[in-house]
A and B are shown apart, each in its own frame.
Chain A
Amino acid sequence: DTEVTQTPKHLVMGMTNKKSLKCEQHMGHRAMYWYKQKAKKPPELMFVYSYEKLSINESVPSRFSPECPNSSLLNLHLHALQPEDSALYLCASSQAGGQLYGYTFGSGTRLTVV
């Protein structure tokens, strides 16, 4: 299995809702990532988990809460989002430590906040 699977593919949520994005990989990668991508812009890193521990938080607002329950799963919990948070949310995984071989992205979740 050489894929990163993200669910759901599309999500519409209100500003008072709580929702979660899910990401799964079975490549044995021990580093997992969340990126945010606005239209016509490159992906921007949000969080990095290495060996199931949060290693990088790129000053992301607390309304985004990541979780890594095990080495194959990564969640992003969403609460009280703003319309400007609407974007494509991408999950990626890679080998951990040293050079990031095998850095693979999922297809993303298209999030719309209304």
Chain B
Amino acid sequence: GENVGLHLPTLSVQEGDNSIINCAYSNSASDYFIWYKQESGKGPQFIIDIRSNMDKRQGQRVTVLLNKTVKHLSLQIAATQPGDSAVYFCAENIQGAQKLVFGQGTRLTINP
């Protein structure tokens, strides 16, 4: 499953399928990006990060892709599990600014 439109706040996938969550970032001067997972009633949990001098980074079951040309970031989750159900946020750090700016988020629902 994939949220092809960046204005779609929800994504539903079958358990075991792969998920792709997309994010457009706003500033070409952003040099560091983080994906967070937030479960209900909890704070954002770090998933994976990527620096602007890279275009791909892999973790355990997750991959982040960065396309600086179109200012686009994606998070791929392989073999989704029920525990992956959450809201996923991308966040960007504008170079020189001591802060993260968050995207609107995507709610991922895993269907059994």
Residues of A within 8 A of B (CB): 4, 6, 31, 33, 41-45, 48, 50, 55-56, 90, 96-97, 99-101, 103-108, 110
Contact = CB atoms under 8 A, between A and B. Distances in A.
Contacts of B75: none
Nearest to A6: B43
Interface in B3-23: none
Given A44-B102, A107-B43, A110-B41, 5 more contacts: A48-B98, A100-B32, A101-B49, A105-B46, A106-B43
Contact of B45 (A31, A41, A105): A105
Interface in B35-55: 36, 41-46, 49, 51
Please classify how large the interface on chain B is, using the bins under 10, 10 to 19, 20 to 34, 35 or more: 20 to 34
Contacts of A33: 99
Q: Is the interface of B mostly helix, strand, loop or mixed?
A: strand
Contacts, number: 54
Contacts of B45: 105
B77 interface: no
Contact of A42 (B41, B93, B105): B105
Contacts of A104: 46
B98 A100 contact: yes
User: Chain A CB within 10 Å — which of B43, B46, B103 has the most?
Assistant: B43
B34 A42 contact: no
Given A90-B44, A105-B43, A105-B44, A99 B32 contact: yes
A100 B100 contact: yes
B87 to A, nearest CB: 8
A38 to B, nearest CB: 12
Contacts of A106: 43
Interface string B67-94: 0000000000000000000000101010
Contacts of A99: 31-32, 51, 93
> Which 10 residue pairs across A and B have the least CB separation, nearest first?
A42-B102, A105-B43, A99-B32, A107-B43, A105-B44, A108-B43, A45-B99, A48-B98, A100-B93, A106-B43
